[in-house]
Chain A
Amino acid sequence: DAGVIQSPRHEVTEMGQEVTLRCKPISGHNSLFWYRQTMMRGLELLIYFNNNVPIDDSGMPEDRFSAKMPNASFSTLKIQPSEPRDSAVYFCASSGTGNGNTIYFGEGSWLTVV
């Protein structure tokens, strides 16, 4: 079975540019999570969706960050405008009913803002 698929794997962009990260969760999973990993803060939950509906976005650092899930198989995390401090690895993860405690991660999107 395909796991969580993220794109792009690597992105280098200039400060001020818009960045869009994409995620395809595991088929059949009804919860989707966006995490960010940095050296200072470890793995932080940014936002999560249940059945395509955003439930809690309190982890989103600023209004420059937004996330959408237009359908059960696709989500985006957008940063506009991007800043150097946004440089991090962004992970998408999903989980399904019945094993809601175990979430499955994608391989991450490595973002560098210069």
Chain B
Amino acid sequence: DQQVKQNSPSLSVQEGRISILNCDYTNSMFDYFLWYKKYPAEGPTFLISISSIKDKNEDGRFTVFLNKSAKHLSLHIVPSQPGDSAVYFCAASWGGGADGLTFGKGTHLIIQP
């Protein structure tokens, strides 16, 4: 059973608009959430994270929102740029993350000119 779910395999957004990627989780023990970005033929790279004690974290064009009651988080990218086209993985951990991260299957974001 998948503990971290990304229900949209792909998402197409026009350049300059807002991209919203969604993620749901089932394990209430998770206390830290991360987004990774992956280009073809490269490894995933860390993008942004949020602790369960917060509901929002912002870093430049990227903002992650966490709704603990709904067990839902989202990544907002605004404005979207062509270089944002990639696969985005949602990940979660608990207890300091020493046990590794549990990943969703990813959402392929395509930014159209």
Seen from chain A, the residues whose Cβ lies within 8 Å of a Cβ on chain B are 4, 31, 33, 35, 41-45, 48, 50, 55-56, 91, 93, 95, 100-108
Contact = CB atoms under 8 A, between A and B. Distances in A.
Nearest to A50: B98
A91 B101 CA distance: 13
A102 B44 contact: no
Contacts of A93: 43
Interface string B11-44: 0000000000000000000001010100001111
Interface stretch (B54-62, B67-75, B78-86, B102-110): B102-110
- 7 closest A-B pairs by beta carbon, nearest first, are A101-B97, A105-B43, A42-B105, A43-B103, A100-B97, A101-B32, A100-B96
Interface of B: 32, 34, 36, 41-46, 49, 89, 93, 96-106
Contacts of B103: 35, 42-44
B89 A107 contact: no
27 contacts: A31-B100, A33-B100, A42-B104, A42-B105, A42-B106, A43-B103, A43-B105, A43-B106, A44-B103, A48-B100, A50-B98, A91-B44, A100-B96, A101-B34, A101-B97, A101-B101, A102-B34, A103-B46, A103-B100, A105-B43, A105-B44, A106-B43, A107-B41, A107-B42, A108-B41, A108-B42, A108-B43
- Chain B binding surface SS class: loop
Contacts of A44: 103
B92 to A, nearest CB: 9
A45 B4 CA distance: 13
